[in-house]
């Protein structure tokens, strides 16, 4: 089948994405630091699933996508990103095959259908949607969106009403994958025009349930964005008013049209300019021009042009950042579905040209082949910028040196990789560009804290934490981090005060409970330490060392049976300290005269090579 050729070539072009790592551009918040994904196991599977489908992530409601991450965490873990990337690629390949079928059902020959499928598959503007694991929502929503559209086109051919069942199922799954799916009923209306050459009243009536689902999903998505604070509506973050945002949308529309043909200067982030550029003003002329083109196409019966432009517009219009949700005014991923309309126009005219000029087939195929080689190579290379957070943000900085975000995120990557000199340079650059940046001060303070071998460096960390708290006193993490610094400086009471204040502001901050429990242990307040360890374990139940620490504190509180239960939990988890856990549980068993169990645990500890066993205790059992 010719469609398989498009799938195979697409896979080759995206093969460079397979060995990429996760990146610190929302991957952390969507899955590898998302508690609902991190903690999922057989015991809490349905509880976590319920929570995933009743909550959002950073203002976005895409629960089906998050649920697929949870399944991957449960089955694969975070240690092998290759499988996560492969899943994105496989979903994209399904989309490519569905596009091939859709093009064929809409009347294109096999050459035109393969052409459209290949454009959809290997165009460089696809890279962000496929190579970035977080954008699983693009390829996942795409599978269900295209499947629903395919069923609708088949319905138009055979009038089999049962297809509405499948359309509804696919549409709901698409909406649960990404809010962008709200455009499906409008895309279906574009299909109505293409097939029927006009609209009937039933074109709207039979889609009313879909329009209702779209409206409900869209309003709920806006509500979640507002609650999270990532939806700017007037002059937030960019200082652009609503009228200026219309011009931003028009300029974005033009850029997407240009990048369709010449995919230039692709970046994971297109930050808003610091001022409103003059060249945004004339961009508004694109709208009357497009309207004129569509009007003439409609009047002249050029249904493919009208259909393709309509499909593009209804799938891009909600993404032109007029409401400015996010940190950039453009995004390559926004074209994932929208470009299909324009690709279809190209495929249609390719078929028409081959039919009219069959003698020029070889020449045309040669030109098309050269174009595909060029864009395929760009895609092959563009995947590599997503290799890790360092390559990602370095690529952004090739084009945008006047924004702080890429410096800060690259610095965090360098810090985590213990490339401290490079990290400090990027943090300093970030702060030099804008002083009132609480997150930047917090991040640089963490670097000083990690590097500190003496009091002077800890004081540098303390100074940065003070500035972070000054600029944003509502972030509990800053107070918790300053508390940890006070602890290392030996001021336990100030540390506890900061932990108390930080956890009040951020009660789900697991590290805050951990740090405060250490302070309570240090000062002999074991009952309070147990409370904090329990709070930590509710948020992160897979830390064996904390189960061990809970057991140790309970033993000091003379609660041996509860201590044994905590040690048992520690032993059920993977750790390098299993020998210690067996030994401590053995001592606890011995304390309640359960000598058989005590001896069995001691033997296990010895077999595991634990070498800190009290000789007298060992001799007591004749071992």
pLDDT of res. 621: 81
Give the integer Cα–Cα distance in Å for 474 and 221.
25
Mean pLDDT for 117-124 is 97
CATH classification of the domain holding 566: 1.25.40
pLDDT of res. 438: 93
Is residue 490, in this structure, part of any structural domain at all? no
Alpha helices (H) along 275-419: 286-299, 303-316, 335-356, 361-382, 389-399, 404-416
Mean pLDDT (the chain, rounded): 91
Is it the case that residue 234 has pLDDT exceeding 70? Answer: no
Is residue 528, in this structure, part of any structural domain at all? no
Give the end of a domain, one of 351, 386, 421.
Answer: 386
- pLDDT band, very low/low/confident/very high, at 322 (cuts 50, 70, 90): confident
Structure confidence by residue, pLDDT tens digits, 525-583 = 999 999 999 999 988 888 899 999 999 999 999 999 999 999 999 998 888 889 999 99
Is residue 495, in this structure, part of any structural domain at all? no
Is residue 153, in this structure, part of any structural domain at all? yes
- pLDDT band, very low/low/confident/very high, at 38 (cuts 50, 70, 90): confident
Mean pLDDT for 255-269 is 93
Give the end of a domain, one of 354, 386, 418.
Answer: 386
Is residue 176, in this structure, part of any structural domain at all? yes
Is it the case that residue 238 has pLDDT exceeding 70? Answer: no
Domain assignment of residue 319, given as a range: 2-386
Mean pLDDT for 431-444 is 90
Give the end of a domain, one of 367, 386, 405.
Answer: 386
Number of folded domains in the chain?
A: 2
Structure confidence by residue, pLDDT tens digits, 137-173 = 999 999 999 999 999 999 998 989 899 999 999 999 9
Share of the chain above pLDDT 90, in %: 67
Structure confidence by residue, pLDDT tens digits, 48-102 = 999 999 888 887 889 999 999 999 999 998 989 999 999 999 999 999 999 999 9
pLDDT of res. 230: 57
H/E stretch holding 328: strand 328-330
- pLDDT band, very low/low/confident/very high, at 609 (cuts 50, 70, 90): confident
Mean pLDDT for 465-472 is 95
Is it the case that residue 222 has pLDDT exceeding 80? Answer: no
Mean pLDDT for 380-387 is 96
Q: 154-174 as b/e, with b when 16 or more CB fall inside 10 Å?
A: bbbeeeeeebbebbeebbbbb
- Among 48-52, 200-204, 510-514, 592-596, which stretch is predicted with the lowest mean pLDDT? 200-204
- The residues, ordered by sequence, that sit 6+ positions from 439 with a Cβ below 8 Å of its Cβ are 408, 468
pLDDT of res. 240: 76
Is it the case that residue 330 has pLDDT exceeding 70? Answer: yes
Is residue 292, in this structure, part of any structural domain at all? yes
Is it the case that residue 324 has pLDDT exceeding 70? Answer: no
Is it the case that residue 428 has pLDDT exceeding 90? Answer: yes
- Among 4-18, 244-258, 321-335, 367-381, which stretch is predicted with the lowest mean pLDDT? 321-335
Mean pLDDT for 351-358 is 88
Is residue 580, in this structure, part of any structural domain at all? yes
Q: Please give the backbone phi and psi of residue 329, each rounded to the nearest 5 degrees, phi first.
A: -95, -5
Is residue 377, in this structure, part of any structural domain at all? yes
Give me the numbers of helices (H) and strands (E) for the chain, helices first please: 32, 2
Place of tokens 């529309």: 253
Is it the case that residue 201 has pLDDT exceeding 60? Answer: yes
- pLDDT band, very low/low/confident/very high, at 233 (cuts 50, 70, 90): very low
Give me the half-sphere count of Cα atoms (radius 13 Å) on the Cβ side of residue 60.
21
Q: Tell me the pTM.
A: 0.88
CA angle 313, 314, 318 (to 5 degrees): 95
């Amino acid at each position: 089948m010719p469609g398989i050729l498009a799938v195979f070539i697409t896979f080759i072009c995206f093969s460079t994405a397979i060995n990429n790592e996760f990146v610190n551009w929302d991957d952390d918040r969507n899955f590898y630091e998302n508690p609902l994904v991190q903690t999922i196991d057989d015991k809490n599977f349905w509880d976590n699933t319920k929570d995933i489908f009743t909550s959002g992530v950073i203002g976005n409601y895409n629960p089906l996508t998050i649920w697929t991450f949870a399944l991957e965490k449960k089955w694969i873990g975070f240690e092998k990103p290759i499988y996560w990337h492969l899943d994105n690629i496989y979903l994209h390949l399904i989309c490519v095959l569905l596009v091939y079928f859709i093009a064929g059902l809409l009347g294109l020959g096999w050459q035109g259908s393969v052409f459209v499928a290949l454009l959809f598959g290997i165009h460089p503007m696809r890279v962000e949607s496929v190579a970035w694991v977080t954008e699983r929502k693009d390829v996942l929503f795409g599978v269900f969106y295209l499947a629903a559209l395919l069923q609708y086109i088949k319905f138009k051919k055979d009038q089999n009403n049962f297809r509405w069942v499948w359309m509804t199922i696919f549409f709901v799954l698409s909406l649960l994958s990404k809010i962008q799916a709200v455009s499906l009923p409008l895309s279906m209306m574009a299909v109505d025009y293409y097939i029927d050459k006009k609209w009937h009243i039933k074109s709207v009536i039979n889609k009313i349930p879909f329009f209702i689902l779209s409206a409900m999903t869209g309003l709920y998505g806006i509500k979640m964005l507002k609650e999270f604070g990532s939806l700017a509506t007037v002059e937030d973050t960019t200082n652009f008013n609503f009228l200026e945002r219309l011009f931003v949308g028009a300029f974005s529309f033009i850029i997407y049209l240009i990048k369709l043909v010449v995919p230039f200067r692709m970046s994971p982030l297109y930050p808003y300019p610091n001022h409103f550029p003059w060249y945004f003003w004339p961009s508004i002329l694109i709208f009357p021009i497009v309207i004129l083109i569509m009007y003439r196409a409609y009047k002249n019966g050029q249904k493919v042009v009208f259909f393709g432009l309509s499909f593009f517009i209804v799938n891009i219009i909600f993404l032109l950042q007029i409401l400015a949700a996010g940190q950039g005014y453009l995004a390559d991923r926004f074209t994932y579905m929208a470009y299909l309309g324009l690709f279809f126009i190209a495929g249609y005219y390719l078929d028409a040209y081959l039919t009219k000029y069959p003698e020029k087939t070889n020449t045309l195929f040669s030109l098309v082949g050269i174009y595909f080689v060029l864009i395929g190579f760009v895609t092959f290379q563009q995947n590599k910028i997503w290799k890790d957070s360092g390559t990602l943000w370095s690529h952004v900085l090739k084009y945008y040196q006047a924004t702080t975000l890429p410096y800060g995120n690259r610095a965090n990557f360098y810090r985590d990789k213990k490339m401290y000199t490079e990290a400090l340079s990027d943090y300093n650059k970030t702060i030099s560009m804008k002083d009132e940046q609480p997150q930047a001060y917090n991040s640089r303070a963490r670097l000083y804290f990690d590097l500190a071998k003496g009091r002077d460096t800890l004081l540098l960390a303390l100074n940065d934490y003070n500035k972070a708290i000054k600029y944003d006193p509502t972030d509990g993490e800053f107070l918790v981090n300053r508390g940890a610094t006070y602890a290392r400086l030996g001021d336990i009471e100030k540390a506890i005060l900061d932990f108390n204040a930080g956890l009040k502001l951020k009660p789900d901050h697991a590290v805050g409970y951990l740090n405060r429990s250490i302070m309570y242990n240090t000062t002999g307040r074991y009952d309070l330490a147990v409370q904090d360890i329990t709070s930590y374990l509710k948020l992160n139940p897979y830390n064996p060392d904390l189960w061990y620490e809970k057991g140790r504190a309970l033993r000091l509180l003379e609660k041996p049976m509860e201590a044994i239960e905590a040690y048992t939990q520690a032993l059920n988890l993977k750790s390098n300290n299993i020998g210690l856990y067996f030994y401590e549980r053995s001592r606890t068993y011995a304390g309640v005269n359960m000598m058989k169990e005590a001896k069995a645990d001691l033997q296990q500890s010895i077999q595991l090579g634990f070498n800190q066993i009290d000789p007298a205790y060992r001799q007591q059992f004749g071992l």
